[in-house]
């Protein structure tokens, strides 16, 4: 059955890259509405921005959506991951600026608020996007791939010169609240040299290593309190991938593999998937299939405690 939230929830903060104040309100929406962003600061004429793969204006630092009227919204990936991971199929997100609040750099604040509000279940059946054959895209050494599977698997590997990150690999089945338990608290991360370069170019103005990002410098973790997981970087990459896959518009049934992949490459993958008419199909989920979707049966008690 399709779900939305029972009551509106609000988030106040700043945008990671602009540093500008930002407020987001998630509001309930009816069956078939999907996930839609609305820039309330631009007025009704700017139109809404559907959370879809074909609305993505590719960026190396975040996922940015833009509609035909030029209205845009950036850094949607963590909120999208929270919605997908909590099993929310329909919602209207009103935003007062060009970025979603960065919060603590993870999806945990969004997840906690969504599950605290509770989910409203409708009688409308859930549809899913089932991958029928392997689809793969590459950019240099980076690769992203989708292949058939009965549920959503996310597999990711990263390799950094910084000794504090190094090589990490993880595979998780996204069924049964796995996202909330295993990935939702993992924060965005970066190298100190990259932070310095972004600040010099007027980016990451809302970033604070003590509040919303993990910063690495060689073999050191510079952020106070250290890591929440020994492999927090690869877990956050998986979180990003789930949010970006949420832009398919329907829950995905398939095995996602990412190697050094980022937001743009995952969007390339969705574009390649939809460009091949034989690569996927839309299916109406029976009870057994719906129980395997991300977020099915999840509850607030599964959210890990974080420092």
End-to-end distance of the chain based on CA atoms, in angstroms?
35
Q: Which residues lie across from 10 on neighbouring strands?
A: 25
**CA gap 243, 225 in Å, rounded:** 26
Strand segments, DSSP code E, in 7-151 are 9-14, 21-28, 35-39, 48-50, 64-66, 72-74, 91-95, 119-121, 127-131, 135-139, 142-147
Catalytic residue among 78, 236, 255, 263: 263
- In this structure, are residues 73 and 49 in contact, taking their beta carbons and an 8 Å threshold? yes
263 tagged catalytic: yes
Compute the CA torsion angle 194, 199, 204, 208 (nearest 10 deg).
90
3-state secondary structure 25-48: EEEECCCCCCEEEEECCCCHHHCE
- In this structure, are residues 3 and 76 in contact, taking their beta carbons and an 8 Å threshold? no
**CA gap 81, 64 in Å, rounded:** 14
**CA gap 261, 94 in Å, rounded:** 29
Among the listed residues 150, 131, 126, the one whose alpha carbon sits nearest the alpha carbon of residue 280: 131
Q: Which residues are catalytic?
A: 263
């Amino acid at each position: 059955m399709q779900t939305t939230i029972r009551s509106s929830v609000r988030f106040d903060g700043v945008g990671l890259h602009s540093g500008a104040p930002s407020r987001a309100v998630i509001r309930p929406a009816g069956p078939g509405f999907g996930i839609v962003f609305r820039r309330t600061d631009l007025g009704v004429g700017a139109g809404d921005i559907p959370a879809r793969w074909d609305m993505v204006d590719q960026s190396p630092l975040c996922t940015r959506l833009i509609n035909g009227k030029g209205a845009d919204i950036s850094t949607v990936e963590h909120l999208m991951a929270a919605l997908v991971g909590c099993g929310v199929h329909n919602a209207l997100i009103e935003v007062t600026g060009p970025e979603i609040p960065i919060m603590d750099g993870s999806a945990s604040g969004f997840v906690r608020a969504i599950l605290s509000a509770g989910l409203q279940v409708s009688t409308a059946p859930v549809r899913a996007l089932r991958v029928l054959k392997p689809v793969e895209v590459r950019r240099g050494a980076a690769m992203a791939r989708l292949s058939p599977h009965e549920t959503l698997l996310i597999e990711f590997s990263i390799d950094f010169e910084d000794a504090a990150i190094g090589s990490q690999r993880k595979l998780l089945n996204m069924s049964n609240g796995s996202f909330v338990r295993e990935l939702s608290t993992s924060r965005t991360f970066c190298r100190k040299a990259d932070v310095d370069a972004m600040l010099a170019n007027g980016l990451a103005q809302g970033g604070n290593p003590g509040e919303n990002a993990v910063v690495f410098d060689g073999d050191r973790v510079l952020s106070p309190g250290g890591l929440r997981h020994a492999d927090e970087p690869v877990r956050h990459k998986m979180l990003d991938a789930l949010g970006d896959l949420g832009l398919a518009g329907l829950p995905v049934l398939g095995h996602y593999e990412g190697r050094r992949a980022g937001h743009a490459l995952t969007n390339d993958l969705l574009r390649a998937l939809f460009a091949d008419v034989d690569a996927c199909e839309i299916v109406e989920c029976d009870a057994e299939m719906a129980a395997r979707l991300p977020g099915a049966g999840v509850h607030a008690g599964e959210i890990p405690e974080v420092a």
